[in-house]
Structure 1
Amino acid sequence: MLRLDPDGSRLGSAIDGAGRHLLDPVHTGRYLWSQLAKAEKIGLGTIVCQRIQRELGLADGLQLDFMVAGHEVDVKFTLGGNWMFPPELQGGLCLVVRADDASGLWSLGLLRVSSELMRTGANRDGKRGLSAEGRGAIHWVHRDLPLPEHALRRLPDDVVGAIFAKPSGQARTEELFQQAQLTAITTADLSAITMQADGVKRAREARRRLARRGVLVLNGSLSRDGEWASALGLPVLAPSTWMSVRLVPTQPEHDDNPTITLDDTPWRVARPGDVEAPLPAAALG
């Protein structure tokens, strides 16, 4: 597993993608796993397993989920702190996966299932959870790694409420870029607030509209935007990710802050209290 995914980025993306698939933000506007129905949460484990197998190109197992390095392995997923194991899995190898979008963390470990590692009580299906000793027996491959960031998960509830209170997808997109400046905005965020498949189109339109208020909307897929972000000392944006920042014109001889030049004028990141100034046409390019 470490050879296929040394830093865990592929697995983290697969887990996140499974959650987004069920949330279906284009049609539901949902963005948190806590918004899933009980049946959907149960089904999340199956989709996580399928996405991990597909992402890493693992062959089907004969009895268990798939093959890893010549061994059959089952996958158990939880949104909580424990997993449930059926009697027929005793003696088998299991990849245990846990994830929590509230904390933004996920983990994956390897366990040889045995009755000695289980709690004494079982549910109606005979499944049992791990005892404290069992949890200590997990060999962690990746532990408490960050899930891909989505702005809506991290913004305060009142800010998210103000965004969703806007009457249209375009208005909500513009409110998001104004409220969440210097924050990476993903296509999943845009899909949730617009409830439309063309969330990226709304972001492009927001770029034009917000420029009038001095807000520059950057897109990680554009090399020029990447150069501007770097020159302003902003975080590197991943492809298909967006970020907004308010700028103001400045005089370099009186200001040592990072700047970019737009229409022969240097601009820097605005500070609270700086007077709003519309961006020149060069910012829209």
Structure 2
Amino acid sequence: MARLVLREPGDLCVNTESGEHTLTAPEHDAEAQAVLGWLQDHEISHVYTESIRNAVDYVLDGGRTGRFDLLSPEVHPGERASVGAKLEYEVLRSLSLPKAKPLDTVISGVPVDIKATVGSNWAIPSEAHCQLCLCTQIQLKKNRHRTWLVRAHRSWLYRGKGNKDGKRGLAVQARDQWSVPLYDWAPLPVNPLRYLSEEVAQQVLADQPGQEERLLMMFRALEGHVIPRNTLLTVARSHDPTRRAREVKKAAAAEGLTLLCGRDAGAAHGIALRAGEWIAVREDAGNGVLPQTAGSGSG
């Protein structure tokens, strides 16, 4: 990566297809302020958390592959990199934004590119040079993410030919000094299967015993953890994992476990569940359910 001596806001941005223009800090960038104003009306941290969760689940394809950890050796580096491409569509869908040229979308009449990385930098394509970009960094080992709005001035991109597509990385100084963080580090939900020992995980995901036996084993091992639908799908490998989960409630009850599903069931026992989420809790003889400390969903 070539050494980059950064020009600062007020200097000229040179060597661009659109010609020389003044470098602008976000507070003096009318288009950036318009986009920020629109984004501030949405729960962006929540939108990105759910979008990343969905993108990761899509890439892992647990219902067919049995995979539940994006850092697993079974996941090709190219698959991990593809999370960013899927994330773009998830964000557009969640925010009801159009897929629109010349970049990825348009917000308040302003073209915006959407970029994400599971590494330390983004690959900014030539068409996005000097344009506004939503740049998301996903740290898989720390289960967290954050997003900035930055105008990717070419003078703030690493020089040279870039990669084979002409993409260039954004200078860290530009990200830190002349961009706008949309939210601080936000936690990513952890797939509860990652809490299992390797031995138990192999048993829960084995072809034998059957679906119901695997689900019961999972609920038993993950008592007190919130289980999202995608985790059920990974274990049951069924088109209707929710029905399969309901079919093990009687067997779980015989072991003193109560299986709860959804908002109403969780609320009745003082446990926060969302639609489609499950939890196994222990019965206390004569005193009802004993809630456990619940973990988060998938990711």
TM-score, normalised with respect to structure 2: 0.75
Rounded to whole Å, the distance in 2 between the matches of 1:179 and 1:269 is 16
Rounded to whole Å, the distance in 1 between the matches of 2:119 and 2:185 is 13
Deviation at 1:60, TM superposition (A): 3.6
What RMSD, in angstroms, separates the aligned Cα atoms of the two structures?
A: 2.4
Q: Does 1:99 align with 2:138?
A: yes
- SS of corresponding position for 1:94: strand
Give yes or no for contact 2:266–2:272 (8 Å, CA) kept in 1.
no
Rounded to whole Å, the distance in 2 between the matches of 1:22 and 1:145 is 21
Match of 1:282 in 2: none
Letter in 2 for 1:243: I
Match of 1:126 in 2: 166
Structure with greater contact order relative to length (CA < 8 Å, sep ≥ 6):
2
Give yes or no for contact 2:281–2:289 (8 Å, CA) kept in 1.
no
- SS of corresponding position for 1:95: strand
Deviation at 1:204, TM superposition (A): 0.8
Residue by residue over 1:221-271, the C-alpha shift from the partner in whole angstroms, topping out at 9 and shown as x without a partner, is 4x24531x22xxxx311221111122231xxxxxxxxxxxxxxx4335399
Match of 1:181 in 2: 223
Q: Does 1:195 align with 2:274?
A: no
Deviation at 1:48, TM superposition (A): 1.1
Rounded to whole Å, the distance in 1 between the matches of 2:60 and 2:47 is 20
Rounded to whole Å, the distance in 2 between the matches of 1:224 and 1:41 is 36
Q: Which piece of structure 1 moves more, 155-164 or 56-65?
A: 155-164
- SS of corresponding position for 1:31: coil
Residues 205-224 of structure 1: matches in 2 within 5 Å?
205-221=247-263, 223-224=264-265
Match of 1:247 in 2: 283
Residues 107-122 of structure 1: matches in 2 within 5 Å?
107-121=146-160, 122=162
Match of 2:182 in 1: 141
Rounded to whole Å, the distance in 1 between the matches of 2:282 and 2:114 is 46
Percentage of identical aligned residues: 26
Rounded to whole Å, the distance in 2 between the matches of 1:139 and 1:237 is 33
Rounded to whole Å, the distance in 1 between the matches of 2:166 and 2:252 is 58
Change (3 A) 1:201 1:48: same
Change (3 A) 1:171 1:69: same
- SS of corresponding position for 2:279: strand
Deviation at 1:37, TM superposition (A): 3.0
Across the two proteins, how many residue pairs are aligned to each other? Answer: 250
TM-score, normalised with respect to structure 1: 0.78
Rounded to whole Å, the distance in 2 between the matches of 1:182 and 1:51 is 29
Rounded to whole Å, the distance in 2 between the matches of 1:109 and 1:179 is 39
Give yes or no for contact 2:258–2:289 (8 Å, CA) kept in 1.
no
Rounded to whole Å, the distance in 2 between the matches of 1:224 and 1:88 is 50
Rounded to whole Å, the distance in 2 between the matches of 1:113 and 1:73 is 11
Q: Does 1:168 align with 2:218?
A: no
Change (3 A) 1:102 1:172: farther
- Of residues 90, 98, 105, the one that matches 1:66 is 105
- Of residues 29, 48, 56, the one that matches 2:66 is 29
Rounded to whole Å, the distance in 2 between the matches of 1:102 and 1:196 is 29
Deviation at 1:30, TM superposition (A): 1.8
Where in structure 2 are there 5+ consecutive unaligned residues?
1-37, 293-299
